[in-house]
Structure 1
């Protein structure tokens, strides 16, 4: 009986952390980067739907997480690429996310899971590449944490470090979002 309450509390705390970090990042980046702010806001809303009782069914929460992944994360990477002049990669990431969002009903649960993890890893790798070439330390940490969340979600185990795997992934996403918010701020300061 003891592991169940720990899992419930860790789930609530991980959703709360991701929601608060994402909402803060959305508010702090809205003036400089509306695309990234929209991506952060999608993450915050997806996390909030699971925290408010009676707000939606389990399927609605999964749909919100799907949208936050396939549209929200490419929006975050879009601005990072756009400011650095890599407009083709920015458009490709965002366009690919939009196509996946539309095709989500036809993929099935396993297909959606694999596509979401692929989007997370592609966004993490592209952010990491741009951050390395521009010397943006926060971007490197953000890309590494987003990548860690993507890789952890592919593991077969249900629990990591005595916590549910999904909670650890949300903590990694929250840390990545926090670092990425600072990366955007640092990037804007470099280009001004």
Structure 2
């Protein structure tokens, strides 16, 4: 069941990311269903990654993981815009993400990688701007953590931290998700 080559720290970090994503999905279910769906998509992607770690002979279709990343973050951005009354931008963000997700077969692997990083940067900046105008400290923390996650995906974190790049990225993304769900819950309670 457990391959001796499986990195236990990576398995633990993915498990914690999966737990944080599902916890955030449950906590934001009554706040906004779009955010809850975004967290759930990321939790399912982490769960499929855990399955791939535990059963190395089985592979998970990468299109599902890519689509969950491309749609998951825009669903969070959609929720931030929607809860702050900007319905046009919220809908535009979601429509663009859905159109991008349908082009998986036509894009090269390099283009998919660039699209993922651009989606991350756009989501981070959008939530940062909303958080600055609404003075949401949790939103600021989450958007900065999401931006750091994007940077960690580009660099070799093994030189900076005692952990691998994937472990550090999972920890930072989990922190971002916890901050986002707190920001959404705080925003909902104020209205």
TM-score, length-scaled by structure 1: 0.88
Q: Secondary structure at the match of 1:100?
A: helix
Instruction: Summarize deviations over 1:48-72 as a string: whole Å, max 9, x none.
Output: 1122344994452x33331221101
TM-aligned CA deviation for residue 11 of structure 1 = 1.2
The CA distance in 2 between the partners of 1:170 and 1:63, in whole Å, is: 20
Aligned equivalents of 1:27, 1:56: Cα separation in 2: 32
- CA deviation vs aligned residue, 1:60-96 (integer Å, no higher than 9, x gap): 2x33331221101100110110111122221222112
1 CA distance for matches of 2:132 and 2:57? 40
Give the TM-score of the pair, scaled to structure 2: 0.89
* Residue 105 of structure 1 pairs with residue 97 of structure 2: no
Equivalent position of 2:20 in the other structure = 21
Q: 1:55 to 1:49 in 2, by over 3 A?
A: farther
- Alignment size in residue pairs: 185
The CA deviation string for residues 98-137 of structure 1, in whole angstroms up to 9 with x for no partner, is 1111112211211111101110110011001101110111
Whether contact under 8 Å (1:49, 1:56) holds in the other structure is: no
Report if aligned partners of 1:42, 1:67 keep a CA contact under 8 Å in 2. no
Q: Does 1:135 align with 2:135?
A: yes
Question: Using the alignment, how far apart are the partners of 1:56 and 1:136 within structure 2?
Answer: 45
Shift of 1:167: 2.2
Confirm whether residue 87 of structure 1 aligns to residue 87 of structure 2. yes
| Alpha-carbon distance in 2 for matches of 1:26, 1:172 | 17
What residue ranges of structure 1 are gaps of 5+ in the alignment? none
Aligned-partner SS, 1:159: helix
Q: Secondary structure at the match of 2:91?
A: helix
Q: Which residue of 2 aligns with 1:51?
A: 50
**Pairing 1:42-191 to 2, within 5 Å after superposition:** 42-52=41-51, 53-54=54-55, 57-60=58-61, 62-155=62-155, 157=156, 159-160=158-159, 161-191=161-191
Contact 1:16 1:48 in 2 (8 A): yes
> Gapped runs of 5+ residues in structure 2?
none
User: What is the rounded CA distance, in whole Å, between the counterparts of 2:145 and 2:158 in structure 1?
Assistant: 18
CA contact (8 A) 2:21 2:39 kept: yes
